[in-house]
Structure 1
């Protein structure tokens, strides 16, 4: 009985040892890309749909699609997905006939939490108070 217990314990130990191997994880390689997206006709049906689908794509850390600017700002893991793959992904939404994405250097106006509090800049509003001195508002004076 003792030999049987020793063999079972040894086998169990081997299974645990093999099963507990930790997979080496690659470090996140965060990159950002701004895409100009043509073909959007509305904020809810188009921009929010694209943003939702991008957010669920493997490798995408954060995605913001601004309908009024026709821009998508995407933060992604370059180890998982490339800029070309993101462009192709957006092009393929809605069967591939509706949207066309291309990389752009244009960025949307994004304020920090501090700026929003001091300037009362609300989501979707693109104007800052006239007397705002925050750096993020220098190009958005009302």
Structure 2
């Protein structure tokens, strides 16, 4: 699995340890869903201003959000293709930091949750119904608990 990182913000430091956890999360999500790890994921770290602009442009929602997912896989993809892109994840580290305080857990845990959540979006899951939301939450909690990324 290749992770392409673009850090376009200057408010929060991204450690190598956090990057390694992010890679582990994506690989674990792929494995959980029965995929191999011959995929590429683009991950951009931005601030609230940039994610606000992206949210407005791509979703028509005029406010900042925590994470945006841009899936690339289609329903008829060939799983044997080499180095296919799963898609793009954009995280506002500024919003992740705010939410970590709001939810009373670490910044690292919040970023890891957002990556996990977004990876399941890249794999075709959504939280558009109560049942789909429950299914996504169960998957996210399973992955984070397996990797011992807990609410501290």
Fold shared by both chains (TM-score > 0.5): no
Which has the higher relative contact order, 1 or 2, with Cα contacts under 8 A spaced 6 or more apart? 2
Could you state the TM-score of these two structures normalised by the residue count of structure 2? 0.27
Choose between structure 1 and 2: higher helix proportion.
2
Could you state the TM-score of these two structures normalised by the residue count of structure 1? 0.28
